[in-house]
Chains A and B, each alone.
Chain A
Amino acid sequence: MRISWFFKEAIISLKRNWVMSMAAISTVALSLLVLGLFAFVALTLDDLITSFERQVEIEVFLKDEAPFQEVQALQEKIISWKEVKNVKYVSKEEALRKFKEKYKDNPEMIEAIPGNPLPASFQISLKNPKNVVRVAKRLEGRKEIDEVKYGQQVVEKLFAVTKVVRMIGLLFILLLGFASLSLIVITIRLAIFARRNEVSIMRLVGASNWFIRLPFLLEGMGQGLIGAIIAIILIHFTRVTFFEKIAKSLSFLPISFGFDLFLKLSASLIVAGLCIGALGSSIALRRFLKV
């Protein structure tokens, strides 16, 4: 079949039905703009949450009397666990140096310490911070280990909060996506209703169903694509003029609103626009294609 004919028909009909096309395009653009801005903020927050989660570490304080070989063997053993990303050994001397560093403005604090009471420790970072409790439990009670600290309550609260935040974000994105799809189905149905004569004539002269569907499908996808591009341009301007200022004024938080994220979002919006256009016109056409 001649694909060019379908594209030609789609472009001609975009031009000749430009009012309806404009309506559909602006609907797609607005829906995707709202969806995109929300997703952008949500994803940025997600990045932020992830960076908080990454900071979750386990601190293992070692007994002073544990022999160095055993400590070394333990370190190697912990590294070999599949949940563990890295184990850093902090010797007694290093701990003291850090302590002195930290309180260098309070010499009396340092002077009050006789000798070196600080224990050596491991700082364990995990591949997935969700495993922190499991790994910590496994470490507790070993003979080389004095104490395992991982800020249990803080970690559990953090995960509870991030779970809820993510669920709400996902729910909003789904709702907004559904709303956009409905709006677009209605708009395209109106556009097709305005052209039902064309469809009925196509059927009368014996056009097969997919032959009737394809130009509408391409038209819907074209509208979705243009709408997505408009939404992306608007999101870009919002990012440059607004988000980056926010990020600067909140520089103590690791917020980026980065270009990487923007590119990924743009790609998703284009895919979403194409899908919404195609899906919308198929749903809208179904009623008109019953034999």
Chain B
Amino acid sequence: MIKMRNVTKYYPNHSEPALAEINVDVEKGEFIFLVGPSGSGKTTFIRLLLREILPTTGEIYVAGIDVLHLRPWKVPYLRRNIGCVFQDFKLLPNKTAEENVAFALEVLGRSQHVIREQVPEILKLVGLESQGHKFPSELSGGEQQRISIARALVNHPPILLADEPTGNLDPATSLELMALFDRINKMGTTVLVATHNREMVDSMRKRVIALENGRIVRDQVRGVYGYED
């Protein structure tokens, strides 16, 4: 589902690479934690997969798409295969929860019929079927993150990327969210979560890829967080 071959990324005006010689294979249906201290390259890793940036050298394949040789106007089609969740939720403040989720379908040109059917379904999956009419400012942080997960999933992408999804949430809410990720993974979606959250990683016992200074220092099948903060 995700394949990286000898990927190295230098940013302009930096002598050290943000990522160096990364080789990763992720199969369909896997659940992966990407861990490491700040500045270790987790966000660069995710931005490469989204083709927000291009690697300096190496090859990247996402959902069978050759990311390096993708024409710029085809980038939207790559992104339709990847649902994205961020630390700061990135919800549109002037749209209701329902509208935020529907927006992801509308920009893909789905019909009103499909939207009316799928939005309540996905809100139910994240447990917010009764909150759809509220604006993001009227929802708690955990609820906002659930809405952003609903938006990421409503198009049924094969891959879900989450960059520090629990960074702004309290521990109890974080665990609830992890249970939600697990449920989504069990339904067949490949899930990759970049995180700092020790309890979450230790309690889930999933594959862990640990980054340090832009290099993979550990790739364990049933790993733990493994750092002292």
Give me the interface of A with B, judged by CB distance under 8 Å. 1-2, 5, 16-17, 197-198, 200-209, 211-212, 291
Contact = CB atoms under 8 A, between A and B. Distances in A.
A207 B51 CA distance: 14
B92 A197 contact: yes
Contact of B107 (A17, A197, A200, A211): A211
A204 B106 contact: no
A211 B112 CA distance: 17
Contacts of A205: 79-80, 84, 103-104, 107-108, 151-152, 155
Contact of A206 (B72, B79, B90, B94): B79
Contacts of A1: 109
- Pick from B76, B92, B112 the residue with the most CB of A within 10 Å: B76
Contacts of A202: 103, 107
A152 B72 CA distance: 65
Contacts of B106: 5
Contacts of A207: 76, 107-108
6 contacts: A204-B79, A205-B152, A206-B77, A206-B78, A207-B76, A211-B107
Contacts of A211: 107, 109
Nearest to A202: B107
Contacts of B80: 205-206
B73 interface: yes
B64 to A, nearest CB: 16
B109 A203 contact: no
Contacts of A203: 76, 79
B94 A204 contact: no
A173 B116 CA distance: 51
B94 A2 contact: no
Contacts of B104: 205
Nearest to A4: B112
- Pick from A197, A204, A211, A212 the residue with the most CB of B within 10 Å: A204
- Pick from A197, A202, A205 the residue with the most CB of B within 10 Å: A205
A206 B109 contact: no
Contact of A204 (B72, B73, B90): B90
B49 to A, nearest CB: 12
Nearest to B77: A206
B35 interface: no
Contacts of B84: 204-205
Contacts of B155: 205-206
A291 B75 contact: yes
A193 to B, nearest CB: 15
A207 B79 CA distance: 9
Contact of B50 (A2, A5, A204, A212): A204
For the complex of A and B, the 9 pairs showing the least CB-CB separation, nearest first, are A207-B107, A206-B80, A206-B79, A205-B104, A206-B76, A291-B72, A208-B76, A16-B94, A291-B75
A203 B73 CA distance: 11
Contact of A2 (B78, B92, B109): B109
Contact of B51 (A2, A201, A291): A291
Contact of A201 (B52, B72, B77, B92): B92
Nearest to B79: A206
Contacts of A16: 94
A11 B23 CA distance: 48
A209 B75 CA distance: 10
Contact of A209 (B76, B111, B151): B76
B215 to A, nearest CB: 28
Contacts of B94: 16-17
Contacts of B76: 203, 206-209
Contacts of B152: 205
Interface in B49-93: 50-52, 72-73, 75-80, 84, 90, 92
Contacts of B79: 203-206
